[in-house]
């Protein structure tokens, strides 16, 4: 059984979509292991987004992620890493498939960073790394 780190990003929390996103996760059959509303910090984001450092969208991404609280979530279930990414849909909310979180609920604000509602770990390795960053006690 896998675990994955999911974040409802500040746009999702601001728009009141945390419950809807958790509903979809639970409806899919995944278990909520940890759910915590919290403010990200520069340190946490530098670790979380280390692979993007130096990219043009990095600074706007960090600024966006600091713009309000995020809902940090650990989910558990059979193949939940791949499964949640499938629920989330493609990065760009305009082209994300209908039926997905980003496709149904995401909007393109025309900004330097895609405000695409959610993050989900993309491999077992990143899940372990990201859960360690956000929930060191798990
Ligand atoms: P996915 O891989 O499904 O896009 P992700 O959150 O893992 O999800 P990453 O490629 O790791 O995506 O990028 C991290 C975040 O940075 C994205 O979710 C998005 O908010 C932002 N981002 C990524 N690529 C771009 C881009 N080309 N332009 C603007 N923002 C971007």
Q: What pLDDT score does 64 carry?
A: 98
DSSP state of 40: -
| Tokens representing residue 67 in the block | 């713009």
Whether ligand 1 lies within 6 angstroms of the CB of 91 is answered as: yes
Whether ligand 1 lies within 6 angstroms of the CB of 58 is answered as: no
Is 24 part of any known ligand binding site? no
Cβ-defined contacts of 129-136 (< 8 Å, 24+): 130/5, 130/48, 131/3, 131/5, 131/74, 133/44, 133/47, 133/48, 134/5, 134/7, 134/44, 134/48, 134/72, 134/74, 135/5, 135/34, 135/36, 135/72, 135/74
Which top CATH class is 2-83+118-134?
alpha beta
Ligand 1 atom nearest residue 64's Cα: 20
- Domain ranges within the chain, ordered by starting residue: 2-83+118-134
Mean per-residue pLDDT, 58-86: 98
Active site residues: 119
Spatial CB neighbours of 51, under 8 Å, sequence gap ≥ 6:
none
Task: Report which protein residue has its CA nearest ligand 1's atom 3.
Answer: 91
How far CA 103 is from CA of 59, 67, 81, 95, in Å, comes to 25, 23, 19, 7
| Tokens representing residue 131 in the block | 């859960």
pTM above 0.90, yes or no: yes
**What confidence tens digit (pLDDT) does each residue in 10-53 have?**
999 999 999 999 999 999 999 999 999 999 999 999 999 999 99
d(CA 138, CA 129) in angstroms, rounded, equals 11
Is 9 part of any known ligand binding site? yes
Ligand 1 atom nearest residue 116's Cα: 20
Ligand 1 centroid vs 114 CA: distance in angstroms? 7
């Amino acid at each position: 059984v896998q675990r994955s780190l999911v974040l409802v990003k500040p746009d999702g929390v601001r728009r009141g979509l945390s419950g809807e996103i958790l509903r979809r996760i639970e409806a899919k059959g995944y278990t909520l292991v940890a759910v915590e509303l919290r403010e990200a910090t520069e340190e946490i984001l530098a670790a979380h987004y280390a692979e993007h450092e130096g990219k043009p969208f990095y600074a706007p991404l960090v600024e966006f992620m600091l713009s309000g609280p995020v809902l940090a979530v650990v989910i558990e279930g059979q193949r939940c890493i791949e499964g949640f990414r499938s629920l989330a849909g493609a990065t760009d909310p305009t082209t994300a498939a209908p039926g997905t979180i980003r496709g149904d609920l995401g909007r393109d604000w025309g900004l330097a960073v895609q405000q695409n509602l959610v993050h989900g770990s993309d491999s077992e390795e990143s899940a372990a790394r990201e859960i360690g960053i956000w929930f060191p006690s798990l």
